[in-house]
């Protein structure tokens, strides 16, 4: 552990990146400094910090699953969260762009690991470990680029993707390299290439769910194709994930009455394919967050998620159902239930109503009190079944960093597109469908020092 910390410190000092925001210190390495020299060092780097502080804060702050009272909003000290809550045109006011900075820090480290591990010659003895390290680095880079694209790029549209702005696609660990913004198409091409590499290299299972495995990479790729609207490919990768023995957590077997119903850091939760989290934003603290009443009332009383996810506090319902097992961290990893819902949505869109119904019934059987569970009617119409899938998705994935993604992709669909609204001290703030503010601004200092193009606000 001491060696890992020294390696990590050395890399942070040498390579720490805030998205090309500023010049970096030219630190002379001394002989006493520890640098990675073997595969185990690179694995330790991946284990040490890469699955924490994932970039999904600002999307969750801007979503519609909650609200805060005027006094709680006024007392916020984090300018980014305060402004993002009302979708202001200027949100940073000198504060850092947490999601952008943490995202590009992890991309830089992933690139560093890729470069270092590739320099170590493959042998019969090290092939399995080397493949896992390379696969993990590709998984992290592709996943982080995907998450950043949902925040800082427009919703994917195949007819316009070659004209829309994508991300700066940093592919090296050289902090002196400068990258302009790619097209959105180029961004997704790299994301998918990374995830396919991960699928080919990662083992089917890993010792702990904080390390990515092949199933997690398959599930991630199914999410990406769902966001792109390529439902045949999303279905393909969801099915590949689920056929390999993934399990659901039966809520009938957990104590939903306690304040933390799920195990700490997801350990022992068989439903988690890959564990990651982000620090819970100040505005989403238990004492501030009030769950949207429409969302809360969408859960039937016999739905065990109602008790597992929410609790009454000061006369309002707040959220407690973190798969991280702790309110300080928002779980933003990948689960079997999410993949099941991806498959269900794709099946109903592609007219496999029987398959979609079976998926929903499987999920509901593990979420509804056993004595009150009733399968969906086999005569349910396609339109009704589709809405059931969409509603289940919102109820299942609440406060997991996914809602913003769905709001963006639904904005292109009649009947699903939704404008957002906040009311604070009699002032009404709105985010209409198609408004430029659905794409978050890149941090101001990144624009100034990196010379890249800003999103329109």
| pLDDT, tens digit (0-9, with 9 covering 90-100), for 161-190 | 999 999 999 999 988 888 899 999 999 999
Report the C-alpha gap between 175 and 104 in whole angstroms.
11
Report the C-alpha gap between 221 and 345 in whole angstroms.
15
- Matching residue, tokens 């979708």: 87
Q: Which of 356, 256, 345 is nearest to 302 (CA)?
A: 256
Task: Give the Cβ contact number of residue 360 at 10 Å.
Answer: 22
Three-state SS at 333: coil
Residue 360 token pair = 């929903």
Task: For residues 405-426, give the mean pLDDT.
Answer: 95
Q: Where do the structural domains in the chain lie, given as residue ranges?
A: 233-418
Report the C-alpha gap between 409 and 406 in whole angstroms.
5
Please give the mean pLDDT across all residues of the chain: 92
Task: For residues 335-350, give the mean pLDDT.
Answer: 98
**What's the pLDDT band for 139 if we cut at 50, 70, 90?**
very high
Question: What pLDDT sits at residue 419?
Answer: 97
Give CA angle at 70 (332, 442), nearest 5°. 45
Question: What pLDDT sits at residue 19?
Answer: 38
**pLDDT beyond 70 at 151:** yes
Question: What pLDDT sits at residue 446?
Answer: 92
Question: What pLDDT sits at residue 50?
Answer: 86
Share above pLDDT 70 across residues of the chain, in percent, rounded to a whole number: 93
Give residue-wise pLDDT tens across range 367-402. 999 999 999 999 999 999 999 999 999 999 999 999
Report the C-alpha gap between 431 and 406 in whole angstroms.
15
Contacts of 443 (CB under 8 A, 6+ apart): 19, 21, 92, 96, 97, 100, 101
Question: What pLDDT sits at residue 452?
Answer: 93
Q: How far apart are the first and last CA of the chain?
A: 45
Question: What pLDDT sits at residue 23?
Answer: 33
**pLDDT beyond 80 at 157:** yes
Pick the CATH number of 233-418 from 1.25.40.390, 3.40.50.1370, 3.30.300.30, 3.10.20.30: 1.25.40.390
Report the C-alpha gap between 372 and 302 in whole angstroms.
7
**What's the pLDDT band for 34 if we cut at 50, 70, 90?**
low
Task: For residues 354-366, give the mean pLDDT.
Answer: 98
**pLDDT beyond 60 at 4:** no
Return the half-sphere exposure (C-beta side, CA atoms, 13 A cut-off) of residue 100.
Answer: 24
Task: For residues 336-359, give the mean pLDDT.
Answer: 98
Contacts of 159 (CB under 8 A, 6+ apart): none
Task: For residues 96-119, give the mean pLDDT.
Answer: 96
**What's the pLDDT band for 9 if we cut at 50, 70, 90?**
very low
Contacts of 428 (CB under 8 A, 6+ apart): 421, 422
Give residue-wise pLDDT tens across range 52-65. 999 999 999 999 99
Task: For residues 321-335, give the mean pLDDT.
Answer: 96
Task: For residues 248-274, give the mean pLDDT.
Answer: 96
Instruction: Give whole-number Cα distances, 261 to 46, 152, 304, in Å.
Output: 29, 34, 11
């Amino acid at each position: 552990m001491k060696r890992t910390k020294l390696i990590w410190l050395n890399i942070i000092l040498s390579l720490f990146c805030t998205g090309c925001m500023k010049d970096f210190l030219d630190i002379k390495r001394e002989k006493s400094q520890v640098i990675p020299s073997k595969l185990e060092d690179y694995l330790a780097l991946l284990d040490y910090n890469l699955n924490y502080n994932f970039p999904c804060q600002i999307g969750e702050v801007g979503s519609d699953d909650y609200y805060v009272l005027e006094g709680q909003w006024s007392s916020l000290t984090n300018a980014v969260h305060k402004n993002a809550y009302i979708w202001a045109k200027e949100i940073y006011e000198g504060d850092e762009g947490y999601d952008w900075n943490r995202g590009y820090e992890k991309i830089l480290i992933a690139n560093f690991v890729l470069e270092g591990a590739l320099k170590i010659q493959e042998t019969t003895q090290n092939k399995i470990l080397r493949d896992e390290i390379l696969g993990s680095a590709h998984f992290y880079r592709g996943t982080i680029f995907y998450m950043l694209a949902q925040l800082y790029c427009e919703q994917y549209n195949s007819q316009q993707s070659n004209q829309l702005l994508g991300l700066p696609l940093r592919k090296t660990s050289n902090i002196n390299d400068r990258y302009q913004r790619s097209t959105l198409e180029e961004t997704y091409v790299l994301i998918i290439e990374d995830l396919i590499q991960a699928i080919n290299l990662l083992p089917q299972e890993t010792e702990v769910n904080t390390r990515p495995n092949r199933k997690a990479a398959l599930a991630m790729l199914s999410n990406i194709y769902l966001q792109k609207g390529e439902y045949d490919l999303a279905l393909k990768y969801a099915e590949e994930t689920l056929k390999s023995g993934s399990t659901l957590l039966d809520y009938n077997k957990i104590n939903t009455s306690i304040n933390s119903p799920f195990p700490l850091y997801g350990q022992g939760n068989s439903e988690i394919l890959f564990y990651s989290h982000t620090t819970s934003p100040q505005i989403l603290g238990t004492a501030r967050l009030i769950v949207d009443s429409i969302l809360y009332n969408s859960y039937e009383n016999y739905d065990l998620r109602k008790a597992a996810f929410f609790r009454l506090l000061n006369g309002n319902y707040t959220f407690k159902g973190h798969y991280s097992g702790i309110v300080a961290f928002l779980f933003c990893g990948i689960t079997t239930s999410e993949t099941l819902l991806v498959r269900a949505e794709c099946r109903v869109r592609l007219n496999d109503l029987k398959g979609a119904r079976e998926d929903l019934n499987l999920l509901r059987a593990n979420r509804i009190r056993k004595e009150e569970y009733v399968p969906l009617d086999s005569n349910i119409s396609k339109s009704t079944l589709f809405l059931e899938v969409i509603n289940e998705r919102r109820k299942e994935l609440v406060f997991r960093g996914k809602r913003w993604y769905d709001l963006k992709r639904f904005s292109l669909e009649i009947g699903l597109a939704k404008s957002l609204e906040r009311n604070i001290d009699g002032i009404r703030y709105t985010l209409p469908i198609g408004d430029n503010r659905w794409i978050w601004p890149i941090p101001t200092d990144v624009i100034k020092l990196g010379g890249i193009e800003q999103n329109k606000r």
